[in-house]
Amino acid sequence: MKENEEDEKTFLIVLVIVLIVIIYIATLGNVNIGDGIKFPSEFKDSKEEAERKHKRLEALVDKQEALKRRLTTRFQFVYFFVRLVFVGLWVGMIILLSVFGLVSTLSDILDWSEAFLLVLLVVNFLTFGTLTNLENFIDILKNKIENWIYGKYIKVNEKIDANKNELKVIETVLE
């Protein structure tokens, strides 16, 4: 009986070797059997691991979106505060002029406001040259403020988009 079992093992080994040689010759050596049985990276993890990863990504996206909302709120507050400061400067100028007795009517307020704007335009022209250069300066200031507020979260929008795309991939795998 032992000889019969050894003959069967030998026959199976020879049969497998012959099949491998036939496949190799048929494909002219261009086949890589390992490529045919690879699974997508999403299937490497078990379904439970994919669900855990999905939950972690959902929590991360929610956290990043909350951060984005807080940063947007901060920007809106800062820009509102800047506008408020400019209105405060104008009101302060009018009050100061009324204390000195130079403003007593609405037309006086309008005249002094126009004069103040003309002085600002002259200062702007002497400092920046044109209104376009002033806009560039304001954009630079805005970028610096955003960088100061954002800091390490400067690319939060790209991270949110990437995590949402990964969530979609995991959701399709889970279905």
pLDDT per residue as tens digits for the range 64-84: 888 888 888 888 888 899 889
* Between 94 and 155, the higher pLDDT residue: 94
Mean pLDDT calculated for residue range 106-135:
85
Are 106 and 61 contained in the same domain? yes
**Whole-angstrom Cα distance, residue 101 to residue 170?**
72
Domain shared by 94 and 9, yes or no: no
Q: Are residues 34 and 84 in the same domain?
A: no
Distance, in Å, from the CA atom of 100 to the CA atom of 90, rounded to the nearest integer, reads 16
C-beta atoms surrounding 112 within 10 Å = 17
Co-location of 75 and 54 in the same domain: yes
With 60 as the cut, is the pLDDT of residue 21 above it?
yes
Structural domain boundaries enclosing 31: 1-38
Residue 120: HSE in the Cβ half-sphere, 13 Å Cα cutoff: 11
Share of the chain above pLDDT 70, in %: 85
Q: How many domains does the chain have?
A: 2
Residue 31 and residue 94 share a domain:
no
Q: What is the pLDDT of residue 139?
A: 83
Say if residue 92's pLDDT is above 90: yes
67 shares its domain with 95: yes
Compare 100 and 131 and report the one with higher pLDDT.
Answer: 100
| pLDDT over 80 at 26, yes or no | no
Please indicate, yes or no, whether residues 83 and 60 belong to a single structural domain of this protein. yes
- How confident is residue 41, by pLDDT bands cut at 50, 70 and 90? low
> What is the model's pLDDT at position 38?
44
Tell me if residue 59 falls in helix, strand or coil: helix
Torsion of CA 87, 88, 90, 95, to 10 degrees: 140
Does residue 34 sit in the same domain as residue 46?
no
Question: Residue 167 is inside which H or E element, if any?
Answer: helix 156-174
User: Does one domain contain both 26 and 50?
Assistant: no
pTM: 0.49
Same domain? 29 vs 90: no
Mean pLDDT of 81-94: 90
Average pLDDT over residues 111-132: 85
Same domain, yes or no: 30 and 46: no
- Whether 31 and 113 map to the same domain: the answer is no
